[in-house]
Structure 1
Amino acid sequence: MSWHSRALQEGIVRQGDWPHRRVVGKQFPPYGDSNPDSWGVQHAMHPTLDEPAFVRWYTSDAVVDVVKQLLGREEGDLQMELSNLLINPESHSALHEDSCLFVVPGSHKQRALSETPDASKNPLDIPGAIQVTLQPGETYDARAQRATLHPCMGDAELGGTVRARNILQHGIVDWVAGDAFEETLTTERARKMRERLLEMARMADEKGVGVGYSSNG
């Protein structure tokens, strides 16, 4: 998988030949082209990339079994969603006892809001924020090149309209619905997950759900 990661980072994305990228300075779609630098690759399973390894990994037992355990759901409940590649993500750990880390438990389940206080001013102004003291010894090798596959997989039954908007805003259905992508799916599991994603899109359309963007920044 590392060869495929490097090909995306150092090839078409860095050269500007891949339009689906997360530009530096923008956390949420629409990303646009306001910055030539990228911090992420969108749609790693897109058939145009011709990298079926990402599809095989996303739908593998190793990934799906973990998702089933985390969500407490069965395989038939899972729908295909996003699969991105984050370029050079870093985690900053403490060399000495350090209280610079602030976290908001449960915030990963909420969409970002424009009215959320600016964490750069005072992190504790954010509702629910807590300060965490890190102990020395939890470090990483800053010289190592880093890349992280960043997929998500959803519950087809419990996701609802909020989930539909959060996923569909990335334009994933534009290519998942096509024959070219369908031909890359070699297992029944992968095909069923795709069908459930497309069904979510159809239901959202029938209910008149305005996809729009969860945030703009």
Structure 2
Amino acid sequence: MATATETSTAPPTFAENHMNDVPSSLPSTSNPYQAAREALDRDGFVVLPASLFPTFDLASLRDAASTLTASARSGKWPYIRTLPKQFPPWPSKPGEHGIWGVQHLMHPLNPSHATFARSYFDAELLKYVSVLIGCSEEDLTMELYNMLVRPDGEFALRWHRDDIPPEASDVEELERLGKPGFHAQWNLALYDDASLVVVPGSHKRARTSFERSADPYEPNMPGQLVVKLQAGEVAFYNNNILHRGVYDPTKERMTLHGSIGTTLGSSERARNVLQHGVGAWAKEYDFEDFEPAMRERARAMREALVEMGKSSGEVGFYSKDE
């Protein structure tokens, strides 16, 4: 979902990047939804405690995640993110380098699709999403639900903004950063995780001269912060905050990586979403196994995604890195 191209610069090790680890806190207020919105607006990210999402069943999610990850590593599940590629499109087989992500958790061919979908369409999660986007729940659009897993070898993502190319000028950056995001993006950690590295506040400004000239894998970006998550916690973050991922190949990782949009910005989100191929199967999903209220929500959000696909046509890819 980003726009940079591959580089031959070798990524630093996991240990070299875990510096300046500072916990994030949610402001104290009588309105937790507004507090989350204020923190996201101010810092570019916010960590919500697991206690806010009592219906998340971590044991079931871990079982489903483990089964699907095993299928992906063995080549039986074709929707994967392969090393050393950071951006889509990815091949359908792990190859010699293995994987770092599993795509399309809610695909109807996944036997555990309903387990993942229930967390994606969770009523409390959707309340936070609608407030963070600034729209009504009726305007929400189904987008993506993928999983970031322990890579099969040393791997890190470059510093990037998801929706702004690295060659953008200061003026171009500020112009894009001044526009609404029209979506909410989050990580739900099934195990303790410290892989996301951000520069707080960078979603509101152009890059500094140091950030522009820094190595793509710079291990000590000024002001960087490692977002530490305990199992069950949810980190929402602005996808145009300056960020990267640094992964420990020796530690289990299964982090659900989701995004939900709004019909108010379908044209702005089309390529970011549809380049992942979700449109190829979303219209087949009927949500029959869900309780009525969730089924109604899910179907409405699915229809909004299908409509996005119909009106957008061929969207291509933001990046075709080799």
TM-score scaled by structure 2? 0.51
Give yes or no for contact 1:185–1:191 (8 Å, CA) kept in 2. Answer: no
Give yes or no for contact 2:79–2:102 (8 Å, CA) kept in 1. Answer: yes
* Alignment correspondent of 2:148: 86
| Aligned partner (choices 222, 245, 252) of residue 131 of structure 1 | 222
1:158 is paired with a residue whose SS is helix
| Aligned partner (choices 261, 266, 275) of residue 169 of structure 1 | 275
**Which stretch of the first structure deviates more once superposed, 32-41 or 47-56?**
32-41
2:203 partner amino acid: G
Give yes or no for contact 1:102–1:123 (8 Å, CA) kept in 2. Answer: no
1:177 is paired with a residue whose SS is helix
> How far apart, in 1, do the equivalents of 2:215 and 2:198 lie?
9
1:3 partner amino acid: D
Q: Does 1:145 align with 2:252?
A: yes
1:70 partner amino acid: L
Give yes or no for contact 1:86–1:148 (8 Å, CA) kept in 2. Answer: yes
* Alignment correspondent of 2:68: 8
> How far apart, in 2, do the equivalents of 1:139 and 1:202 lie?
37
* Alignment correspondent of 1:113: none
| Aligned partner (choices 38, 45, 55) of residue 99 of structure 2 | 38
> How far apart, in 1, do the equivalents of 2:124 and 2:229 lie?
27
Runs of 4+ in 1 over 4 A off after TM superposition: 121-124
**Which stretch of the first structure deviates more once superposed, 186-195 or 33-42?**
33-42
> How far apart, in 2, do the equivalents of 1:67 and 1:152 lie?
9
> How far apart, in 2, do the equivalents of 1:31 and 1:203 lie?
25
Unaligned stretches of 5+ residues in structure 2 = 1-60, 152-192, 205-211, 231-247
> How far apart, in 2, do the equivalents of 1:57 and 1:167 lie?
19
1:132 is paired with a residue whose SS is coil
1:153 is paired with a residue whose SS is strand
Unaligned stretches of 5+ residues in structure 1 = 94-100, 108-115, 125-129
Distance 1:19 1:56, change over 3 A: same
1:83 is paired with a residue whose SS is strand
Q: Does 1:201 align with 2:306?
A: no
Distance 1:216 1:72, change over 3 A: same
| Aligned partner (choices 203, 207, 229) of residue 106 of structure 1 | 203
* Alignment correspondent of 1:112: none
1:106 is paired with a residue whose SS is helix
Percent identity between the aligned chains? 34
Give yes or no for contact 1:42–1:84 (8 Å, CA) kept in 2. Answer: yes
> How far apart, in 1, do the equivalents of 2:255 and 2:298 lie?
22
Deviations 1:146-200 (A, max 9, x none): 210001001111232x41011111111111112xx22446310000000000011
Distance 1:174 1:69, change over 3 A: same
> How far apart, in 1, do the equivalents of 2:280 and 2:122 lie?
24
**Structure 1 residue 35: Cα displacement:** 3.4
